[in-house]
């Protein structure tokens, strides 16, 4: 029983890479819905349907625990999945939750009243769909008071990263950072709310200066390690991992290998 990782494309490989390093005794099955990427420009209902299809496919491979390594899916679909759709013998976790826990310095299950936090001005860089969902602001408001979140929808950035056009991706990232700084000149923290964005983290850091930037691979890896230490029954058994794609396997494998710097072989998959 491997742990499933679902993403709309290749960005979730940044999460897989860190998870596989942090938890070397856990098997992972990665599914990228490259055929329908990017999710960031789709409607909430479309994202929900595609995400459910992807999660069900991973269940068919024995993945009773699935990580949504896609911020757009986590923001637009996770809450609805957990409240309306999820069977009791399955678990679906998202990448938003660990970030909220880090920024608020409290566990997700802590239902005490909202309280002040260190970073009161937060810059959020995310896809248009993630920004439109306002999921980050909503979950933060449940746990923190006095926090101002300035969101920047980073249109075009995922496409440029997936196309490996790093000159264009760097230019787009810089433009979005500068646009946000015009509205919030002095953020106290920044969040890269898309698993693709670590590839251009240096550009964001250069534009933002000494502002601490939180991206998700390390945060999610530590969070899952903690989760499995408390719930070892979801850790599964040691099996050979798989990489699945709804796109063209050879092309996706080439891009994925360029992303991670090591060879990956993808198998075809339909949703």
Taking the CA atoms of residue 13, residue 17, residue 19 and residue 25 in that order, the dihedral angle to the nearest 10 degrees is 120
70 is catalytic: yes
Q: φ, ψ for residue 149 (rounded to 5)?
A: -110, 120
Count Cα neighbours of 54 within 13 Å in the Cβ-side half-sphere.
Answer: 36
Among the options 29, 52, 63, 70, which is catalytic? Answer: 70
d(CA 58, CA 215): 25
CB 11 within 8 A of CB 195: yes
Return left, alpha or beta for 156; rule: phi > 0 is left, psi -120 to 50 is alpha, else beta: left
CA pseudo-torsion sign 251, 256, 258, 261: negative
Cβ-count burial of 26 within 10 angstroms (0-12 exposed, 13-18 middle, 19+ buried)? buried
Nearest to residue 215, comparing CAs of 233, 193, 234?
Answer: 193
d(CA 172, CA 165): 11
194 is catalytic: yes
d(CA 122, CA 79): 23
Among the options 52, 63, 194, 269, which is catalytic? Answer: 194
CB 67 within 8 A of CB 5: yes
CA 55 remoteness from chain centre = 15
Residues identified as active-site: 70, 194
């Amino acid at each position: 029983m491997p742990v499933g990782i679902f993403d709309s494309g290749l960005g979730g490989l940044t999460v897989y890479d860190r998870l596989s390093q942090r938890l070397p005794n856990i098997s992972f099955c990665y599914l990228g819905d490259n055929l329908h990427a990017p999710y960031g420009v789709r409607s909430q209902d479309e994202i929900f349907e595609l995400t459910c299809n992807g999660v069900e496919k991973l269940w068919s491979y024995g993945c009773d625990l699935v990580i949504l390594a896609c911020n757009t899916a986590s923001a637009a679909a996770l809450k609805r999945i957990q409240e309306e759709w999820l069977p009791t013998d399955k678990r679906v976790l998202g990448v938003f939750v660990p970030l909220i826990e880090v920024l608020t310095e409290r566990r997700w299950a802590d239902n005490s009243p909202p309280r002040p936090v260190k970073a009161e001005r937060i810059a959020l860089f995310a896809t248009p769909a993630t920004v439109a969902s306002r999921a980050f602001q909503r979950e933060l408001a449940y746990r923190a008071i006095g926090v101002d979140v300035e969101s920047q929808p980073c249109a075009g950035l995922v496409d440029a990263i997936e196309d490996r056009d790093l000159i264009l991706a760097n230019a787009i990232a810089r433009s979005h950072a500068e646009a946000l700084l015009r509205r919030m000149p002095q953020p106290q923290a920044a969040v890269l709310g898309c698993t693709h964005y670590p590839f251009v983290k240096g550009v964001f850091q250069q534009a933002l200066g000494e502002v601490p930037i939180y991206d998700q691979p390390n945060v999610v890896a530590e969070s899952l390690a903690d989760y499995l230490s408390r719930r070892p029954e979801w850790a599964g058994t040691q099996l050979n991992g798989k990489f699945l794609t709804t796109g063209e396997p050879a092309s996706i494998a080439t891009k994925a290998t360029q992303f991670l710097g090591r060879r990956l072989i993808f198998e075809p998959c339909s949703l």
